[in-house]
C-alpha cells in the first residue's frame, strides 16, 4: 500500500510528509520513499503548540481539532503538488505532554478530523497503548530500524532529542539519549535565527567547562534501561542550568552544548557496545546531521563508524517509519516492541479513523 507518513518533531522546525510504498513479503517489510516534503512550521503554530500545555482544556481540545484540520490540508496540498495518491495516512501528531512515569503522553492532531479533511483513512495515536502497558511510548523508531536498517549495529537520530536504537546481545534496544536540536535552536534564537546553520555559531565559541560539567551530571544520563524525554523535562531539568550562564557569550554556550551532546552520544555507544563503539557501524539521520560542528565532535568522541545516508533518508526516516507502523497496524501486526520501550507486552498500536474498506 502507499502510505503518507506525517511527523512533527520537538524541534518544531516543520512538518514532514513522506509518501512511501510499503510492501510485505513473508514477514519481510520494505518502505520505499517515493516523494517527500517538509512544510515549515508557521510561527502561529510554533507558539500555540509550545504553549499549549499551559492552556485550559477547551483550548487543548480546539487545538487538537484545528491541528488535525491543518494536517489534512497539508496532505491535500502535498498530494496535489507532488501529483501522488495514497491509500492511507499514518500520523504521529505533535507531542504536547510526555510523562510515561505518570501514565501520560498526548499528541494533538485529531485523526478523525484529519481523515475527514484529507478524505483518506488515518492511523494515529501510536504511543498511548504502550504507555498504558507501562512503557515509555518512545522512541518508536526501533521497530523501523529493526525491519528496514538491520545491517547497522545502531541507528542514531539527531532530532529535537537525540535517540538511539542498538542491537545489544542479539536484542534491539532503544532510548532517548538527551536533548539535541531543541536546545541548540533555543540558543540560536538569541541571534534571531531559527537554528544554527551548519554549526556556524558553535564554531565561534569556546567550551565552558563549568557549564559542561553541570550538564553532564544531570541524573537522567545515569539511568539505564528504557527511558524517554519530553519538552517538559528540558524546562525542569536542563534549561535552568543553561540560564545560570546567560551572561556567557551565546557562541560559548552553543559550543558547550554541542560538546555535551557529543559526549552523551559517545557514552551511550560505550554503554551499548563497550570500547566506545569501536568496530560498530552507526547510521545517523535527522537535522543535526547538517550541523558540521556537531558531527565533527561526535566522530571525535567515539570510535564507531558513522554512516550518513542519502538526504532523503536523513530528512524523512521518521516519517517513513510512521508510514511503516501505520501499514503494520492495518495488517494487525505488532508495531511496537516492548523490549525497546519497557512495556509489559508488545502492541498493535494506533487508532483508526475513516473508511478502510478499500485497503487490501
Q: Are residues 75 and 185 in the same domain?
A: no
* pLDDT above 90 for 168: no
Please indicate, yes or no, if residue 360 is contained in any of the structural domains: no
Q: Are residues 324 and 304 in the same domain?
A: no
Does residue 11 or residue 306 have the better pLDDT?
A: 306
Rounded Cα distance between 185 and 160, Å, is: 9
Q: Are residues 170 and 288 in the same domain?
A: yes
Please indicate, yes or no, if residue 359 is contained in any of the structural domains: no
Please indicate, yes or no, if residue 286 is contained in any of the structural domains: yes
Q: What is the CATH number of the domain that holds 181?
A: 3.30.420.40
Q: Are residues 76 and 161 in the same domain?
A: no
192-230: buried (b, 16+ CB within 10 Å) or exposed (e) per residue? eebbbeebbbbeebeebeebbebbeebebbeeeebbbbb
Q: Are residues 67 and 198 in the same domain?
A: no
The total of other beta-carbon atoms located within 10 Å of residue 73's CB is 14
Domain of 43 in residue numbering reads as 2-142+320-353
The pLDDT, as a whole number, for residue 272 is 86
Rounded Cα distance between 145 and 165, Å, is: 7
Tens-digit pLDDT profile for residues 53-67 = 999 999 999 999 999
Q: Are residues 330 and 248 in the same domain?
A: no
Q: Are residues 119 and 227 in the same domain?
A: no
Q: Are residues 12 and 121 in the same domain?
A: yes
Please indicate, yes or no, if residue 358 is contained in any of the structural domains: no
Total domains present in the chain: 2
Residue 19 and residue 35 in contact, taking contact as beta carbons nearer than 8 Å: yes
Q: Are residues 184 and 299 in the same domain?
A: yes
**What does residue 34 show for φ and ψ, rounded to 5 degrees?**
-90, -45
DSSP 8-state code for residue 70: H
Q: Are residues 286 and 343 in the same domain?
A: no
Quick check: pTM over 0.85?
Answer: yes
The pLDDT, as a whole number, for residue 11 is 76
Please indicate, yes or no, if residue 263 is contained in any of the structural domains: yes
Please indicate, yes or no, if residue 159 is contained in any of the structural domains: yes
The pLDDT, as a whole number, for residue 232 is 87
The pLDDT, as a whole number, for residue 277 is 77
Q: Are residues 287 and 176 in the same domain?
A: yes
* pLDDT above 80 for 10: no
Please indicate, yes or no, if residue 325 is contained in any of the structural domains: yes
Please indicate, yes or no, if residue 285 is contained in any of the structural domains: yes
Q: Are residues 185 and 279 in the same domain?
A: yes
What percentage of the chain carries pLDDT values higher than 90? 86
Give the residues across from 3 on adjacent strands.
20, 88
Amino acid at each position: 500500500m502507499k502510505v503518507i507518513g506525517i511527523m512533527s518533531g520537538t524541534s518544531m522546525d516543520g512538518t514532514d510528509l513522506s509518501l512511501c510504498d510499503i510492501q510485505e513479503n513473508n514477514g519481510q517489510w520494505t518502505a520505499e520513499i517515493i516523494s517527500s516534503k517538509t512544510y515549515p512550521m508557521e510561527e502561529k503554530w510554533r507558539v500555540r503548540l509550545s504553549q499549549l500545555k499551559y492552556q485550559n482544556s477547551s483550548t487543548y481540545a480546539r487545538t487538537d481539532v484545528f491541528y488535525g484540520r491543518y494536517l489534512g490540508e497539508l496532505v491535500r496540498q502535498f498530494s496535489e503538488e507532488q501529483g501522488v495518491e495514497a491509500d492511507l495516512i499514518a500520523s504521529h501528531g505533535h507531542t504536547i505532554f510526555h510523562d510515561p512515569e505518570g501514565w501520560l503522553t498526548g499528541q494533538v492532531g485529531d485523526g478523525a478530523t484529519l481523515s475527514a479533511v484529507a478524505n483518506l483513512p488515518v492511523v494515529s495515536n501510536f504511543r498511548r497503548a504502550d504507555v498504558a502497558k507501562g512503557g515509555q511510548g518512545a522512541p518508536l523508531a526501533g521497530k523501523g530500524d529493526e525491519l528496514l536498517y538491520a545491517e547497522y549495529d545502531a541507528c542514531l537520530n539527531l532530532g529535537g532529542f537525540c535517540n538511539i536504537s542498538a542491537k545489544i546481545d542479539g536484542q534491539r534496544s532503544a532510548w532517548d539519549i538527551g536533548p539535541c536540536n531543541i536546545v541548540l535552536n533555543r540558543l540560536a534564537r538569541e541571534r534571531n535565527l531559527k537554528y544554527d546553520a551548519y554549526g556556524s555559531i558553535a564554531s565561534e565559541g569556546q567550551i565552558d567547562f563549568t557549564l559542561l560539567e553541570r550538564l553532564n551530571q544531570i541524573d537522567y544520563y545515569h539511568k539505564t534501561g528504557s527511558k524517554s524525554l519530553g519538552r517538559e523535562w528540558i524546562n525542569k531539568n536542563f534549561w535552568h542550568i543553561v540560564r545560570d550562564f546567560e551572561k556567557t557569550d551565546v557562541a560559548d554556550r552553543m559550543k558547550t552544548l554541542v560538546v555535551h551532546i557529543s559526549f552523551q552520544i559517545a557514552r551511550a555507544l560505550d554503554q551499548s557496545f563497550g570500547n566506545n563503539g569501536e568496530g560498530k557501524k552507526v547510521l545517523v539521520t535527522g537535522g543535526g546531521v547538517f550541523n558540521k560542528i556537531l558531527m565533527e565532535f561526535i566522530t571525535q568522541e567515539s570510535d564507531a563508524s558513522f554512516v550518513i545516508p542519502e538526504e532523503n533518508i536523513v530528512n524523512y526516516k521518521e516519517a517513513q517509519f510512521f508510514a511503516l507502523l501505520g501499514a503494520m497496524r492495518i495488517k494487525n501486526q505488532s508495531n511496537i516492541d516492548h523490549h525497546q520501550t519497557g512495556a509489559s507486552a508488545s502492541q498493535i498500536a494506533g487508532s483508526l479513523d475513516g473508511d478502510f474498506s478499500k485497503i487490501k
